[in-house]
Amino acid sequence: MGYAIVFSACCSCGGVFGFNPHSVPSARDKQGVRQPICRGCVEKANPIRKANGLPEITILPDAYEPISEYEL
């Protein structure tokens, strides 16, 4: 059995990070395509979202972890 992790640039800061493609937080870009957000950007955004009365972005426990190759 093998494992897989996806790497991409964060849609907010541009930094490259690894994530589980099924549970990573994401946001829609200008074309409406969902793009992944790194943990640091989510943690920076949540206090601002809360202050503006918006729901905080939930980070699932496996969002930044490898997944089984069979889940791809």
At 33 the pLDDT is 96
Tokens of 63: 């969002």
What local confidence, expressed as pLDDT, does residue 72 receive?
84
Phi-psi sector, 31: left (phi>0), alpha (psi -120 to 50), beta: alpha
> Which residues, including other chains, have CB under 8 Å from residue 47's CB and lie 6 or more apart?
none
Question: Once rounded to an integer, what is the mean pLDDT over residues 40-62?
Answer: 97
d(CA 55, CA 72): 29
pTM: 0.89
pLDDT value of residue 1: 80
pLDDT tens by residue, 10-46: 999 999 999 999 999 999 999 999 999 999 999 999 9
What residue spans define the domains of the chain?
3-71
